[in-house]
Amino acid sequence: MRILKYRSRGPSVYILEEILVKLGYKLNVSEYFGKDTDKAVREFQLKNNLVVDGLVGPKTWSKVIEKEQLLPKFNDKFLSEQDLIDFASENNLELAVVKAVNEVESRGKGFFVYGKPVILFEGHVFWRQLEKRGVSPESLLSEESKDVLYKKWTRKYYIGGEKEYSRLEKAAELLNSEDVREAAYCSASWGAFQIMGYHYKSLGYDSIDDFVSKMYDHEREHLKAFGKFIGVNYFKGKKLIDWLRDKNWANFARAYNGPGYKENRYDSKLQNAYEKYFH
C-alpha cells in the first residue's frame, strides 16, 4: 500500500476508509482522502499508540491491516437463507413472499465486485435536495456539472455500475460544503433494494452517513432498510407491507415501482415468483 494523506485519491484510499468505517469511525467511503478521513486516521493513530500525523505510511498501514484481519470479508456480505427466514418472521410475512420480493425487486446483488454497495445517482433529485437545504442549484450549474445536476429526470447521464460513484463524488465536491455533500449522498439509491438516501430520517437512521455506513456493511442491512421502508410508507391508505401480507401484487408494485410497473410486469413477476416458492 502506498503512503496516503489528506487529498490522496485512488483504490487504496477506498480500502483504508472501508476498514476505518468497519472499526467504527465516522466518514464517507470513497476514493478521496477528505477531512473526515484525516480526522479518523488521527484518532486511529492516537488510539493505537502511533505518531499522530495523519500520514498513512508503513506503520499505520500495518496496524490497520492487523485490525482488518478481525473484520468480515466481502464474501460474507451476501444474504443467506436464514436472513430471509428471520426477516419473514420479524415482519409477519410468508417466506415465499419475502423470497419473491428478493428475486424481483432486488438488483440480484447489493454489492459491486470490490465491496462497494450498488448505487445509482439521480441528478434531478440532487437538484431538489440542494433546494431543500437552501443551496441554489443554478449557482452550481455549468457545462462541467450538467451530468450530475439537472432539473428533470433523464437517463441520459447514467453510466452504470461502479462508475456511478464517480458521479456521486463529483456532485459531492461541486462546492466545499457539508450541505452539498449531504445532498449528493441523499440523491443516490443504495443497495440491493434501491432505497434512496433521502429516506434515511423517516427510516430511523441518525444521519445520511449512518445510513450509508450501514449500506456498506452487508446485504442484510439492505434488507432491513427495505423492511423499514415498506413499514412506514403508505399507498391507498395502507402500508406497503400490508399490501405484501395481502399478496396484492398490483398495489405493492404500483407503490414500490411507480406507474410504469404494469409495463414492466412487476406485479405478474412477483406473483409468479411467489407461486414458485410457495409450492
Residue 201: C-alpha distances to residues 86, 100, 186, 253 (Å): 24, 27, 10, 23
Per-residue pLDDT, averaged over 8-25, amounts to 87
Chain mean position to CA 48 = 30
**Phi then psi for 175, rounded to 5 degrees?**
-150, 140
Architecture of domain 11-68: Orthogonal Bundle (1.10)
- pLDDT category at 111 given cuts 50, 70, 90 is confident
Q: Which residue has the higher pLDDT, 179 or 1?
A: 179
Q: Which amino acid is at 70?
A: L
Asked whether the predicted pLDDT for residue 109 surpasses 90, the reply is: no
Confidence (pLDDT) at 148: 98
Mean pLDDT, the chain, integer? 92
Nearest residue to 74 (alpha-carbon basis) of 29, 112, 27, 21: 112
Q: Return the beta strands (E) in 98-231 as ranges.
A: 119-121, 188-190, 195-196
- pLDDT category at 108 given cuts 50, 70, 90 is confident
Burial 250-273 (b: 16+ CB within 10 A, else e): ebbbbbbbeeebeeeebbebbbeb
Per-residue pLDDT, averaged over 150-172, amounts to 93
Domain boundaries, the chain: 11-68, 77-110+229-278, 119-225
Tell me the pTM. 0.74
Q: Distance between CA atoms of 226 and 110, rounded to whole angstroms?
A: 12
Cβ partners under 8 Å of residue 174, min gap 6: 140, 145, 148, 149, 180, 184
E strand or H helix that includes residue 14:
helix 11-22
- For the stretch 57-78, pLDDT in tens is 988 998 998 887 765 555 578 8
- pLDDT category at 26 given cuts 50, 70, 90 is confident
Q: Return the beta strands (E) in 42-143 as ranges.
A: 119-121
